[in-house]
Amino acid sequence: MYAVADWNLPTTYDGPYAGRDKSDILVYSAFVRAARDGHFAPFHTKFVPELGAPYGANWNDWPYLEYVPLYLIGVLARVVGIFAALNVALILWHTLAGITFYFVARYHKIDILWSFAAALAFGLASFIFSESPDHPMVALCWHVPLFLVVWRWLSDPSGIKPGSKHFWFGMAVGFLAGLLNPYYFAVFCQIVLLTAAVMLIRTHKLNHLISGLSFITATALGLVLINLSPWLYQIRSGRNQGAVVREFQWVEIYALKALDLFVPPLNHHWETFRNFAQWRAHVAILHDEGSYLGIVGTGALLLLLLSAIRAAISRNSLHLPAAAFQVLWIFLFFTTGGLNAIAAAAGFSYLRAGCRLSIVILAISLLYAADWLTRRRTRPQFSAVAAGVCCVIILFDQVPTPPSLEEKSAITRHITSDEKFVAEIESTFPEGAMVFQIPVMDFPESPLRTESSYDHLRPYLYTRHLRFSFGSMKGRPREQWQHDVEKLSLLDAVAEVKRRGFSALCVSRVGYPDGARELEQNLRLLGYNEEIQSAEGDLFCVRLQ
């Protein structure tokens, strides 16, 4: 029974958070809820009737989103519920990552034991755990090992013959990358182009360049296909420059940093590692999302670097691992002050979290190390013991401690409070009643004082027939009215909200320095005394009409 209960709980909810802010769990839960209801399907315009009242939320201004996997999670949520569907998806992401890496390693004729150990290290990557559950589409990195196959084929002097099986496999990988996370398809295309250009110079064979450009075209095709609907909407309605703003500072703050590859998470099993993580979190000026490679991953990266240094010292360029150049490029582009920062200074700041490319560095390093160990295997028994030791280290080092009983209890209490709160509002008002949420907040990515960006989405996750004012994307004139109301006196603001058809106010106490006590008292003085309080005391609803 407890296991079933755990499956229906997210591992984080509305804070406070140990470590970085994980409030994006709320917006991704909202995506799943909308997909469950058929309002967030790929290749269709995206309007959510329960949000953005009195109009309906417009979600067509996202620059890029992974609509296909989000929709599939929503379909699963119709059967098992929102949080259980997210949990199942995250387990599937881990499993797919490990399986894909294993078959890639076996394709490269890597020993079965080292293939398994490396696949375990990738499937249980600390990065995937760190990005869960608040960034499930970043944690969806199972296809990254496929990049390594394409890159290796391209670096072969014989190249990839257009029309061959290798060519069509590369096209499929490129198309798949275009459908999924933009960070991963960006690095896929960069290294494809660089490899093709270098091999063209070295071999003077056009098939390298033709194949490379073809793979990039396939990636672009996937990107265009999955984003065609929102882009067409923006062509018809005008581009919304203010919907999702990427400021230059975030490119620097969340850039890839070498030190963070070796900094374990705060929920590591070992106290010494946790202490180191706490020290880093305390002194760090810039942020990270969980770049830790793990002990085995660190060893693999060091092996790759030492091999490259040895080849460089011996001046044997033919023995310089291509993997070393790939890792070097990722650092040059995504590190603090790197090429990505230069691009951001020129206006392209969408790839703001370069630290997310640590998972690609991990994949490159693990495959190289597993291949190196296979080629130098002399005693099968020793290899078996060494691989077994690595697997044990991976399990204890990379799998974090689960939420404590106190944390689970707090999450359960908060969710139960929200469910009961929404149920009481629904029992009070007719179907389709509109609720105005304050303090007024923009959507998305617009925290307010102590209020997280998506706190207002919590009631939406549980309602059956209410409509809420929050949740339509900012930047278009239609959404400005809420801020205009906010500037009015309380008496006039309430009158305007009622004129627009709202039946109630929903107040988040967290958004006010005094816990909204003064606002609550003033509403009572105006005669609005019928209140519904949440069990946790963080929300209250006032009947207006």
Q: What is the pLDDT of residue 242?
A: 86
Q: What is the pLDDT of residue 350?
A: 86
Give the C-alpha separation, 433 to 50, whole Å.
Answer: 10
Residue 353's pLDDT is what?
Answer: 93
Span 267-286, pLDDT tens digits:
999 999 999 999 999 999 98
pLDDT band at 19 (very low <50, low <70, confident <90, very high): low
- What whole-number distance in Å separates Cα of residue 36 and Cα of residue 38? 6
- Residue-wise pLDDT for 249-271, tens only, equals 999 999 999 999 999 999 999 99
Please state, rounded to an integer, the average pLDDT across all residues of the chain. Answer: 93
Q: Quick one: pLDDT band at residue 4, thresholds 50, 70, 90?
A: very low
- Read out DSSP for 436-460? EEES---BSS--BTTB-TTGGGTGG
Instruction: For residue 101, give both structure tokens.
Output: 């890496």
Instruction: Please report which confidence band the pLDDT of residue 315 belongs to, taking 50, 70 and 90 as the band edges.
Output: confident
Q: Which of 369, 360, 319 is nearest to 150 (CA)?
A: 360
Work out the pLDDT band at 448, boundaries 50, 70, 90. Answer: confident
The DSSP line for 85-120 is HHHHHHHHHHHHHHHHHHHHHHHTT--HHHHHHHHH
Q: Mean pLDDT, to the nearest integer, of 10-23?
A: 76
| Consecutive H or E run containing 194 | helix 182-203
112-144 tens-digit pLDDT: 999 999 999 999 999 999 999 999 999 999 999
Q: How far apart are CA 264 and CA 290, in angstroms?
A: 8
pLDDT at 3: 44
Segment 321-358, tens digit of pLDDT: 999 999 999 999 999 999 999 999 998 888 999 999 99
Alpha-carbon distance 11 to 222, whole Å?
32
pTM of the model: 0.94
- Region 422-437: mean pLDDT is 97
Q: Which of 47, 88, 50 is nearest to 69 (CA)?
A: 88
Percent of the chain clearing pLDDT 90 (strictly above): 84
Q: For residue 18, what pLDDT is reported?
A: 61
Per-residue pLDDT band for 452 (boundaries 50, 70, 90) equals confident
Instruction: Give residue-wise pLDDT tens across range 221-237.
Output: 999 999 999 999 999 99
Q: In what order do the strands lie in the sheet with 434-438?
A: 467-468, 434-438, 502-508, 539-543, 531-533
Lowest mean pLDDT among 1-5, 22-26, 56-60, 321-325: 1-5
CA 157 – CA 48 distance, rounded (Å): 52
pLDDT of residue 247: 86
Helix, strand, or coil (residue 467): strand
**CA neighbours closer than 13 Å in the CB half-sphere of residue 146:** 22
Q: How confident is the model at residue 318 (pLDDT cuts 50, 70, 90)?
A: low
Position 387 confidence tier, pLDDT thresholds 50, 70, 90: very high
Q: Are strands 531-533 and 502-508 parallel, antiparallel or unpaired?
A: unpaired
pLDDT in the model for residue 349:
87
For 325-345, b/e burial (b = at least 16 CB within 10 A) is: bbbebbbebbbbebebbeebe
Per-residue model confidence (pLDDT) at position 295:
98
343 within 8 A of 173, measured Cβ to Cβ: no
Query: Which residue blocks in 238-348 are alpha helix, DSSP H?
Result: 248-253, 271-283, 294-313, 322-334, 339-345
**Residues with Cβ within 8 Å of residue 4, at least 6 apart in sequence:** none
- Give the CA distances from residue 200 to residues 151, 155, 360, 423, 472, in Å, rounded to whole numbers and listed in that order: 14, 10, 25, 65, 49
8 Å CB contact between 223 and 177: no
- Are the C-beta atoms of residues 523 and 505 closer than 8 Å to each other? yes
Q: Is 63 helix (H, G, I), strand (E, B) or coil?
A: coil
Say whether pLDDT at 459 is over 80: yes
Q: Can you list the positions of beta strands (E) in 392-441?
A: 434-438
CB 292 within 8 A of CB 262: yes
pLDDT-derived band at 1, boundaries 50, 70, 90: very low
Specify the 3-state DSSP secondary structure of 504: strand
Answer yes or no: are the C-beta atoms of 120 and 391 closer than 8 Å.
Answer: yes
Report the chain's terminal Cα–Cα distance, integer Å: 43
Three-state secondary-structure class, residue 543: strand
472-494 mean pLDDT: 94
Q: How confident is the model at residue 403 (pLDDT cuts 50, 70, 90)?
A: confident
Q: Is the pLDDT of residue 65 over 90?
A: no
Angle (CA) 65-24-464 rounded to 5° is: 85
